[in-house]
Amino acid sequence: MRILITGANGYLGQGVVNAILDNGHEVVATDFAVDHVDDRATRIVGNIFEIENPYEYFGKPDVLLHLAWRDGFVHYSNAHIDDLPNHFTFIKKMAEEGVKQIAVMGSMHEIGFFEGSINENTPCHPTTPYGIGKNALRDLTQMVCKQKNIVFQWMRGYYIVGNSKYGSSIFSKITVAAEEGKTEFPFTLGQNQYDFIDYPDFCAQVAAVAGQQKEQGIINICSGRPEKLADRVERFIKENGYKIKLQYGAFPDRPYDSKAIWGDSNKIEKIMRK
């Protein structure tokens, strides 16, 4: 298939592009810059929000894989709400012009405060602009896909573990601190439990979802099990051989974070078995 990937130069996009190419699909990759994108892809620099006929412009792809999103780790950024109409307009144009499958990256932050396992029927009560923006885009994308009888896939992401210094997660920040020779890293108590997924597994799961049409709707991109933040971070430090120690209790836990939350992995396991 020909798969258009937006946000292809970002932390998530780079690995997803590689995984989809490795699966044998043709990739059209677009972003504000494409210097980190695999050169096996057709790379197009530009602003997707400014393109009049995106489906035609990007070579009539079979699938839109929409990863583009500003300030993903800055949960209270105004960009999540300011950009929402632009995301919707772009997706709507793609649907109206002829794309047959739309897969969009979502977030477990759409759920809001919740404890336990999340599945596609878990009610959403987001509490940050990030969660609210993603939640609204999911509803709008689902509506458009239903109107046009298009395959709708909403990939709900969880906590990604990777040692790239270019991300904004705690793991990226620890990598940067270790590379700078720091020996201590300020940390919370780390008792909250989350669903952690290693970066290569995350990319493989997203690639698998976009490469098939049978499983549709909300699909968790996850490991399917909870683990204490402190345990996963300590393991990450050990796995990478970093000489850095956590300063427990230096920061308070974020009040809107759940004590234990993880994804139901039944759908993604079914896809990965094929």
* 155-211 confidence digits (pLDDT tens): 999 999 987 777 778 999 999 999 999 999 999 999 999 999 999 999 999 999 999
Residues with a catalytic annotation lie at 130
Domain that holds residue 179: 162-193+226-247
Are residues 128 and 168 both part of a single domain? no
Are residues 31 and 140 both part of a single domain? yes
Are residues 205 and 139 both part of a single domain? yes
Tens digit of each residue's pLDDT (9 = 90 or more) over 36-61: 999 999 999 999 999 999 999 999 99
Residue type, position 189, single letter? L
Are residues 71 and 129 both part of a single domain? yes
Q: Give the gyration radius of the chain's Cα atoms.
A: 18
Domain membership of residue 256 (yes or no) is no
Residue 205, domain CATH: 3.40.50.720
Tens digit of each residue's pLDDT (9 = 90 or more) over 84-110: 999 999 999 999 999 999 999 999 999
Are residues 55 and 184 both part of a single domain? no
Are residues 33 and 95 both part of a single domain? yes
Q: Which residues make Cβ contacts (< 8 Å) with residue 117, sequence separation at least 6?
A: 262, 263, 264
Are residues 72 and 203 both part of a single domain? yes
Domain membership of residue 140 (yes or no) is yes
Are residues 127 and 205 both part of a single domain? yes
218 phi and psi, to 5 degrees? -80, 125
The pLDDT of residue 72? 87
What percent of the chain is predicted at pLDDT more than 70? 100
C-alpha to C-alpha distance for 112 and 78, rounded to whole angstroms:
18
Distances from the Cα of 18 to the Cα of 23, 154, 199, angstroms: 9, 20, 12
Residues 154/102, Cβ–Cβ less than 8 Å = no
The pLDDT of residue 146? 98
Count how many domains the chain has: 2
The pLDDT of residue 102? 98
Are residues 206 and 235 both part of a single domain? no
Domain membership of residue 89 (yes or no) is yes
Least confident of 19-23, 38-42, 120-124, 163-167: 163-167
Q: What angle do CA 89, 93, 95 make, to 5 degrees?
A: 115
Mean pLDDT of 215-227: 97
